[in-house]
Structure 1
Amino acid sequence: MKTSQIKVFLAVVRNGTIAAAARELNRSRTTIVTDCRRFDQVAGQIFARCQHHFSGAESVLRIARDDSVPEPMWRDILRRLKIRFPQTSLSVWLATPRELPRLVKSQSVDVAYGLMPELLSEGYHWFRELADVRMLTVAAPDHPLSQLNRVTQDDLISYTEVTLASMQNDRLEAESPETANYLAFTQYELIRDAVIDGAGWADLPLPLIADALTQRTLKVIHHRSAKWWKVFSALESEQAQGGAVVGWLATELEQYLESV
């Protein structure tokens, strides 16, 4: 906002009409109307920011997440978040589940969402479980494991496992592979695509592979432990805890995951 716009506004108030204000300031009516509109726009923005602040909504929110929830769903949630909270600025970081707690504890982000290891609420961080997520052991339909009526543990270790990797103590490490023969990536999506291409078998979250199962590009193998559960959780910092935007996000993610 410029001081000249404030002078225009006061001149209109003082004179009662735009024409009279224009004569006083020796300016055209069109110029004064434009300045008044800009003044009104800025005033509206200030009012919106004040409302946003008093509602308890965060002005800035830094989010870390894994990719167990499909990208189209995340894009839709964030689109609706910006409609619901237009004054909140967001930054989003994609990380592996194991890296999420560290990012919150180091204050690199305000809140993290994903299939992270189970934690107890400690210190200034609040851990809460949002939903159980079905994990499935899958392979491509033409993979040898998909052809077996019964898959044993010996069968599993005979073939390449496609699993998660994350940075641990500045080293890229595979996360607890079932076999010494593995292919590790830092994203569930990369694992899914590698399995569809026939690179091996993997344990993957149902929300991410539901379409592939429907389209029959992936198949659940006949192993006694092919269906199990993980917990999708939120880890909130002290600053984010209780915020309106964080609360809205948790509700949206919980409702989506319960519907899958």
Structure 2
Amino acid sequence: MNLSQIEAFCTVADTGSVSEAARVLDCNRTKLSMAIKALEKELDTSLFVRSKNNVTLSETGKAIYKDCENLLVTASRIKQTCAQVSGEYETEVWIAHDDSLPDKLWQDLTIALNQHYAAISFNVVLASSGDLANLVETSQVDFAFGVDYEAVDDPRLIYQPLGKIRMMSVCRADHRLSKLPRVSDEVLRDAMQVSLAYLNEKDNPELQPFSLQYIGFSSFEYMLKTILSEGLWGVLPEPLIRQYLREQQLSVIKHTYGLTQADYCMYTSAGMSEHPAMSWLADQIADFLFTF
């Protein structure tokens, strides 16, 4: 049994397809199938139930899946620890964040980071909230910050809540929805919506549009501009729209889910040692969110 076989097993289990798993791992399908068969031979059991179009875990496969996943997490932790001890990790840090918090805040925090930790190069990129967990999980970035829509128990990730953020269903103040004393599901579904789009291939029910007709954008800022210019409705974070609410350019829709709360989180790979720069950044963001 080796880590390549375990990774093959977990990836096929996650994707439900040998072909898709080969694509994800960027390897030959035949080689992947051989790895699975070698693992099954060594364990003297069938790990999958195979049909014409897909594969599903057998009862034995289900029983060992979590342990196999934990093995991969442990292996990743060992590699990360060695990289940190050797100093490789300290030279450059990639950070992804959504735009649920104001741009000015991120500009100020990035400059302060550079001043406090001059020996480290920080690459800060903007991403859709729906892509943050996947970016960390696939090692495209080291850390991510944003609204947590997934809220799933994933042993490969650590979700550290930094505070609550209010999500508001809003429309322009002159929109017909703002005039209604109560908005039903049926009325809201018939109104054109602007929603949050993401590239992550995992289905996320929390990000599915509510309306029958919608336009999707990867940033809250684009959603906000479209709501203001085109008269659509959408769900936006309070820190981004507080000014527009005060100026009565936007109104909160009087619907059951007009006001909800979500966790604003820092995403980290499981096993990643605490990074002083990220601990500082997390504290700054937590202090900002406390004001809301």
TM-score class normalised by the smaller sequence: 0.7 to 0.9
Compute the displacement of 1:170 (Å): 10
Report SS of the residue matched to 2:188.
Answer: helix
Aligned residue number for residue 232 of structure 1: 264
Q: Please say if 1:114 is aligned against 2:146.
A: yes
Cα offset, 1:71, TM superposition = 0.7
Higher relative contact order at CA 8 Å, sep ≥6: structure 1 or structure 2? Answer: 1
Q: Does 1:153 align with 2:185?
A: yes
**Paired residues of 2:130 and 2:197 also in contact (CA < 8 A):** no
Q: Which of 126, 135, 139 is 2:171 aligned to?
A: 139
TM-score (norm 2): 0.65
Which has the larger Rg? 1
Mind listing any 5+ residue stretches in structure 1 that lack a counterpart? 1-52
Are 1:96 and 1:166, in contact at CA under 8 Å, matched by a contact in 2? yes
Q: Which residue among 31, 52, 63 is the counterpart of 2:95?
A: 63
Counterpart position of 1:92? 124
* Aligned position for 1:216: 248
Aligned counterparts of 2:110 and 2:201: Cα–Cα separation in 1: 32
Runs of 5+ consecutive residues of structure 2 not aligned to the other structure:
1-84
CA offset at residue 104 of structure 1?
0.8
Identity among equivalent pairs (%)? 28
Q: Does the alignment pair 1:75 with 2:107? A: yes
Query: Does the C-alpha gap of structure 1 residues 170 and 239 become closer, same or farther in structure 2, counting only changes over 3 Å?
Result: closer
Q: Which amino acid counterpart does residue 105 of structure 1 have in structure 2? A: E
Aligned equivalent of 2:63: none
2:229 aligned with 1:197: yes
Q: CA RMSD in A?
A: 2.4
Give 1:246's aligned amino acid.
M
Residue 213 of structure 2 aligns with an amino acid whose one-letter code is: N
Hey, what's the Cα distance between the residues in 2 that align with 1:255 and 1:179? Answer: 35
> Separation in 2 of the partners of 1:128 and 1:64?
15
Q: Is the contact made by 1:126 and 1:241 (CA closer than 8 Å) also made in structure 2?
A: no
Local SS of the residue matching 2:267: strand
Structure 1 segment 8-23 matched on structure 2, within 5 A: none
